[in-house]
Structure 1
Amino acid sequence: MRRYHAALLASTLLPVAQGVAAGEPHEFRELLQLSLEELLEIPVMTASKRMEARTDTPAHLMVITAEQIRDRRYRNLADLLEDLPGVDFMRGTKSSAFNNFAFQGHVSNNKLLILLDGVRIDHPGGGKIPVADNLALYNAKQVEVLYGPAAALYGADAMAGVINIISQRPRDAERVHVSLTGGSDGYRNTEATASARLTERVALEVGAHEHRADRADLSADYADDFPRVDAVTFDGTVALPAALRESYTGEISSGSRFARLDVGDDLTLSYHRSDFRSLTSTGDRPDTARYLSSAYWDTTIDTLYARYRFELKPRLTGELTVDYSEYEVSPSSSYVNIFTGFEDHGHDYAFSRRRGFEQQLTWSADDTHTLVGGLAHHDYRSVEVPDLPTALDPDRSVASQDLTYVNTPLPIQTFQNDFTTTSLYAQLQSRWSATLSSMLGLRYDRNSDYRNTLNPRLGLVWKNTGNSYLKLLYGEAFRAPSSDEAFSTFGSFSGQRNAAGEYVGYFFRAPNAELEPEESRSLSLTWDWRPRRDLNLVVNTYYAEMEDIIVSRDEVVPTQYIPGARLFNTSIKDNMGSEKHYGLDLIVNARFQLSEAWRGDLWGSYSYTDGEVYDVEDGRRYDLPYIARDKIKLGTTFRYRNRYTVTPKLYWIGDTNTERKDPADPGTRIQADDWFRADLLLAAHDVGAKGITANLEVYNLFDRRYHVAAGSGSTTFVTMPQQPRTVMLTVQYDY
């Protein structure tokens, strides 16, 4: 069980805090009270890998500032994503990823890059990760959300877009931030960060957070979904009678560490760690899994990078980035479910590593033409193991641990995948007149595991009136198959043998080393209009086609990958079918003044998403999974003399397709019903002393009961019950 590391936090932050205390109090909130016009003119980095105005890029891009992050209580990236236009967000539905989401029709985080200051901090090998409380935003200056394909600059997996968390430069804002939160259902969160100049040229920021939540007892709030039933194995054996079944539990915990050291404007060294733990029974029905605190999925991602900036000539600059990242599933992770016979022998482990460099050059030929180009090389290693009878010791070789499949003497089959990537890219941006500019980009990616890819990106920006911009963008992108998809296997033996003496196994997942990348082509048109200084209206339309979709399928001829075994009813991941989706996001942002004392912000969106997936196995076309065709999100922050804020948020999400096909109506999917939720955030600033803020947050204000689209497997909930009302109180100090 995780504990709060108060001593570690204090020892890490105290030296920096002492440096800050030597200066004057930092009027942090007042510095961030910008007008809407000023907010819209904040320079962005993500769209072109160089600083530019949002209006200069043909891509649709949103910026969420530190002020908005605090006022809207975006503690982490999950909170922020749920508010974004075009995003379907489903909490607590997956056993290993926990949350699931779709981004303008693209399902899951493995089609969306998550960066910190331009460096990838999600799965280093491109697999799925939890996007939840682990990706905290206490260190964010702003978050840039780039919609649409960006493979021409970023390479693999930038199909749906890119999210770039821009951290505070330590030299820009010496500060101390400490926040303590407690709430219902055992919710507690601690975060702290501090930054200071150590010398005239050297500045440091460090931060950390720890979080834990027992979460509500869903069996009490949704009794019909959680009946107390026998745990029955595939062969009909009652492993545990209903009278002895455990009570429901759904606890989670997470943490992060962050450090950034700047030496002048030339050198940055940074470290980021995120970890998340959730129960592997998450999303599973009570007849197929045991709800045990000891059966959990625990992941950690560590990322380090060094970046050196230099100037070769007045108009030619360079940037060299060296990075290293590791992802690990803790060997203590395990499943106790119907696939393990409800016994504790479903232990798991996975490891992935990325290391390499990227050299980028930026040449401004004149004031109207800018060329960005680069070379990158990375090497990767991934280790995948199947369900294990006992926890693996990752410091020893698998062969030396004599691990065998349960109920057999057959040695465990593990997979190690080593590969490299080399990339070349260039992007030219040109301003042809005061009203017309263009962008042309191209990237070549060579992967030692699969075919090479070439991805173009073309765009136009037309300023048709003083404050109205039309943006047209075409791009191609690809998603690399992850080692998890290619080599992750699972299944268990009962001990049964056939006439040939082979151990018989059913319902195994087999490896497939022949996977190829998914590929997409996308077109978007964006109208960005600012009719007044305090009002911004955006219309973003998009269309995308995808081929070689990686899906699970049953094998006609089972892959026999375990010597001494005979497997039946196996499944694999394979490139099958195609997909297309299209949609529209209508977005409004406004700032208003109600009186001398009252002012506020309004933000909202209506999103329409539709499309279809072609299933090669049955030759039918299905609606997109995990997508609500219609979504409305609305929020407003009322401020009273910068001392008090009231922020209500409203969500209406229409009927949502699950991934489960409806057997009663061939060609359709089972749907989760539409739902409505309201959240309320109250804050009081300078409470008792300057810099102290108290926040009251009420999630699911009206305590509504609703379900979201969940799993597609035979053992999972098709629609997952969601959390009832949760109340949280936060006290924070900013200096």
Structure 2
Amino acid sequence: MALRLIPLALALCYCAKALAAAPSLEDVQQLLDLSLEDLIATPVVTASRQSETRDQTPAHVMVFTREQIRQRRYQNLADLLEDLPGVNFQRGTKSSQFNQFTVQGYLGPNKLVLMLDGIRIGQPSGGNIPVAENLAIYHAKQVEVVFGPAAALYGADAVAGVVNIITDNATNATANGATGTASVGLGRFGSRDTSFFTSAKISERLGISVGGHSQRSDRAPLDEFYPDDFQKVDGQFNGRTVLPAATREAYTGGIRSSSVFARLDLGEPLTAGFYRHRFNSLTSTGDPYAMARYDRAAQWQTTNDTVYARYRHRLGENLHGKLTLDHAQMQVDPRAYYSNAYNDFGRGYSYVQGKRTGIEESLHWQVNERHQVQGGLGWQEYTAIEAASMPQPYNTDLSPTDQGMVYPNTPGFRFDTPHTRFHNLSAYVQWQAQWSEQLSSVAGVRLDRHSVYGSSVNPRLGVVFVPNKTHVFKALYGQAFRAPSPEESLSTIGHFDGRQDADGRYIGTNFRVGNEHLEPETVRSLSLTWDWRPAQHLNFSTNLYHSRISHLVVNMPTADVITPQMWLQKPETKGNAGYQFQRGLDISAQWRFRWGRNWTGDLWGSASWIHGRINTGNGIEWQIPYVASRQLKLGTTLRWRDQWSITPKLRWSSSTTNGRTKAPANPLLPAAHCSSTPSAPTRCSTPGAAVLDLHLGWHQLLDGKATLWLDVTNVLDKRYYAAGGGGSMTFWDMPQQPRRWMLTLDYRF
């Protein structure tokens, strides 16, 4: 399918070239007078773990500069990801990670490596974390996005790609003193947002940067905007009414987030930093009344802390290295609990903790003018706790084996807190060769020795061909592996309500049991990229990719667990079953232009097509879930005399399957959108939607140091849904937020 779209790509190239001819060379040159010089066609990136231009790496890379982040109003990483080609973003659809998203068909943040200055800031032990307002980017100099498997350089989990937030070295400032920004915003649904960032050059060798943000929002009362989906129905457990509809609580769905950032630079050689990001949402996120109690105290709060240091040293004229130390911890507040249809609408407490401590030495050897070699050796130590369905909060002063809990409604069945410790030894080497001015190649391999899952070897082969200044052709083959996270292999969820069978066994329902025999997922991917720049300020990129995941980790039924004392009926577990493949085409473009003497503009957009199938071991191929087969994203920033700006953004996607094959059996749940044909099995999907956002800026306030922004999300107040939820009883189509506005004052000093 993707190959048939190549003629369309060529046609779009021709149209873009015609548009690019409109402004004169003199007009284009005047763009530099408006401080847009950082939007050059080939910015410096670190995609290959060293500073190089985007044209020198074989990977498909997108770079967003500080000016683009500001003009497009990317307040956080979620806003930026939502604008990327090949990314499907479903907001507020899953309690444990809040937003659910796919990148070129890969589902979830546990397949995407998130970094700050090259240091991982995701879940330390490899699970999911919220990618939402908590990852604010007030401190970003630029954000780099590497698409596709990159395990040869970045290790496990670099399956969908890598996102790296780059911050400034304060000692690189041209003069001593402090500069920075401060922001405060108020908006609809009780939205409040503040942030600050300051960077100070104390001396030639000492620089300090600090920043932070705080955000909260009540969010929209979805029961008012989607009354059919949020009716106050009975809360039932095993056919018994626990919560009569007449006594149900009011709907609520507020969120809170915050972050703190600090970086210390001693010239170029030494950098040390600390980063904390925190997110709060209700554990009822993504659930209708039939499935959850809207208890304001039932909060899912995740806190991620990362501390790191990096020392750059030179071992010879052509050999230099970097020694990196980092320690990270993620913790869910021990008071977090669920109150839903899986646990008799009682309180089932949860606790998650992940830790990682790592050390890595990397070397770069410039062999000669045409050849260079990179390599590294690293060690990572991990610990994890995954506890759910607990009758009381986890006691952090005690070890996992000393909690002393028992399952409620049983004669004293012991609750064992799942926990683990493991380590990983890694080594990688990469050879880059510049065979001529037009042709270069990359060949690399990484070896990981996992204490639980054994050894994994992942190669990386790439070629870059630059026939002239306007064309860049790239081909990249890569492999990756993803070790199952402790949440997948250990976590046990379930409930006893006191019922017994004829033999006196206590019956357990809604159980998911751990599986310590999971195998890693393996990924193979091939991508072809063509970058075309027919004019100085016009970029056009086409990325064609094909990927396949083997040993897919999925939910699957398992045999009943029967002992003399208990009977776990129809439990589920995580298992390796089947495969997933996807092939797709992403076309993106950006054009900067000038109209007359007063107007400048930045026009960007992307079109994406993807075809994918998933087989979970039952012999039937289904459309991969949470992925729209077609997407279109358009945006433009128009600026008048550096005083006013307007940025409209449009996102459209076709229907998205939610992975279900039949409508919910529970009559209290909202109806699903399901269809079937004689030649295809039943498929439940979420209808497509087009959403328009608008950002207005009034600049040159307070002597040009301040900007007043009006941000309107979902301008047309489109009532639409996203494919969300998980399991056999949760929401099928998650209602999305109606129109929201935010008024923000930014001040630069």
The 2-side partners of 1:533 and 1:400 are apart by 66
1:278 to 259, 281, 286: 281
User: TM-score scaled by structure 2?
Assistant: 0.91
Deviations along 1:216-274, one digit per CA (max 9) or x if unpaired, are 0011101111111111112x221111111111111111111100000111000011111
- For the 8 Å contact 2:171–2:203, the answer to whether it is kept is no
Q: Secondary structure at the match of 1:208?
A: strand
The 2-side partners of 1:685 and 1:673 are apart by 39
Task: State how 1:57-96 maps to structure 2 within 5 Å.
Answer: 57-96=57-96
- For the 8 Å contact 1:620–1:667, the answer to whether it is kept is no
1:449 to 449, 452, 466: 452
- For the 8 Å contact 1:32–1:67, the answer to whether it is kept is no
Tell me by how many angstroms 1:35 deviates.
4.1
Q: Quick check: 1:307 aligned with 2:321?
A: no
Task: State how 1:422-571 maps to structure 2 within 5 Å.
Answer: 422-498=425-501, 500-555=503-558, 557-559=559-561, 564-571=565-572
2:687 to 647, 651, 673: 673
Alignment partner, residue 375 of structure 2 = 373
Q: Secondary structure at the match of 1:349?
A: strand
Q: Secondary structure at the match of 2:68?
A: helix
Alignment partner, residue 710 of structure 2 = 696
Tell me by how many angstroms 1:659 deviates.
1.4
- For the 8 Å contact 1:134–1:275, the answer to whether it is kept is yes
- For the 8 Å contact 1:386–1:413, the answer to whether it is kept is no
Q: Quick check: 1:225 aligned with 2:239?
A: no
Q: CA RMSD in A?
A: 1.6
The 2-side partners of 1:311 and 1:563 are apart by 66
The 2-side partners of 1:550 and 1:644 are apart by 50
Give ranges in structure 2 of 5+ residues lacking alignment.
Answer: 1-30, 664-674
Task: State how 1:711-722 maps to structure 2 within 5 Å.
Answer: 711-722=725-736
Deviations along 1:179-221, one digit per CA (max 9) or x if unpaired, are 0011000111111111102233111001111110100001110
Deviations along 1:509-564, one digit per CA (max 9) or x if unpaired, are 10100111100110000000100001111010000011000000111x2346x994
**Paired residue type of 1:396:** L
Tell me by how many angstroms 1:712 deviates.
3.6
Q: Secondary structure at the match of 1:110?
A: helix
Deviations along 1:61-109, one digit per CA (max 9) or x if unpaired, are 0000111111111010000000001100000110111100000111111
Tell me by how many angstroms 1:403 deviates.
1.7
Deviations along 1:403-455, one digit per CA (max 9) or x if unpaired, are 21111222211122111100110111111011110000100000000131000
2:213 to 201, 209, 216: 209
Deviations along 1:648-681, one digit per CA (max 9) or x if unpaired, are 0011111111111246636343111110111000
Alignment partner, residue 264 of structure 2 = 261
Tell me by how many angstroms 1:386 deviates.
2.6
Distance of aligned partners of 1:224 and 1:454 in 2 relative to their CA distance in 1, 3 Å threshold? same
Deviations along 1:26-60, one digit per CA (max 9) or x if unpaired, are xxx99982348x52222111x21001110011110
Task: State how 1:54-203 maps to structure 2 within 5 Å.
Answer: 54-173=54-173, 174-203=178-207
The 2-side partners of 1:391 and 1:398 are apart by 12
- For the 8 Å contact 1:559–1:567, the answer to whether it is kept is yes
> More displaced, 653-662 or 533-542?
653-662
Tell me by how many angstroms 1:500 deviates.
4.9
**Paired residue type of 1:612:** R
- For the 8 Å contact 2:400–2:419, the answer to whether it is kept is no
The 2-side partners of 1:630 and 1:660 are apart by 20
The 1-side partners of 2:60 and 2:32 are apart by 29
- For the 8 Å contact 2:171–2:266, the answer to whether it is kept is no
Alignment partner, residue 358 of structure 1 = 360
The 2-side partners of 1:600 and 1:662 are apart by 48
- For the 8 Å contact 1:660–1:711, the answer to whether it is kept is no
- For the 8 Å contact 1:35–1:591, the answer to whether it is kept is no
The 2-side partners of 1:30 and 1:256 are apart by 34
The 2-side partners of 1:31 and 1:257 are apart by 34
User: Identity rate of aligned residues, in percent?
Assistant: 45
Q: Secondary structure at the match of 1:628?
A: coil
Q: Secondary structure at the match of 1:67?
A: helix
**Paired residue type of 2:712:** V
- For the 8 Å contact 2:506–2:567, the answer to whether it is kept is yes
Distance of aligned partners of 1:308 and 1:31 in 2 relative to their CA distance in 1, 3 Å threshold? farther
User: TM-score scaled by structure 1?
Assistant: 0.93
Task: State how 1:406-421 maps to structure 2 within 5 Å.
Answer: 406-408=408-410, 409-421=412-424
Tell me by how many angstroms 1:465 deviates.
2.7
The 2-side partners of 1:86 and 1:175 are apart by 36
**Paired residue type of 1:366:** N
Q: Quick check: 1:383 aligned with 2:397?
A: no
Give ranges in structure 1 of 5+ residues lacking alignment.
Answer: 1-28
Alignment partner, residue 349 of structure 1 = 351
- For the 8 Å contact 1:622–1:668, the answer to whether it is kept is no
The 2-side partners of 1:43 and 1:331 are apart by 43
- For the 8 Å contact 1:329–1:350, the answer to whether it is kept is yes
The 1-side partners of 2:66 and 2:357 are apart by 31
- For the 8 Å contact 2:401–2:416, the answer to whether it is kept is no
* Residues matched between the structures, number: 700
Q: Secondary structure at the match of 1:509?
A: strand
> More displaced, 87-96 or 197-206?
197-206
The 2-side partners of 1:699 and 1:507 are apart by 38
The 2-side partners of 1:684 and 1:504 are apart by 64
Q: Secondary structure at the match of 2:44?
A: coil
Q: Secondary structure at the match of 2:130?
A: coil
Alignment partner, residue 607 of structure 1 = 608
Q: Quick check: 1:710 aligned with 2:715?
A: no
**Paired residue type of 1:716:** T
The 2-side partners of 1:161 and 1:62 are apart by 11
Q: Secondary structure at the match of 2:91?
A: strand
Q: Secondary structure at the match of 1:215?
A: coil
The 2-side partners of 1:40 and 1:374 are apart by 31
The 2-side partners of 1:435 and 1:444 are apart by 31
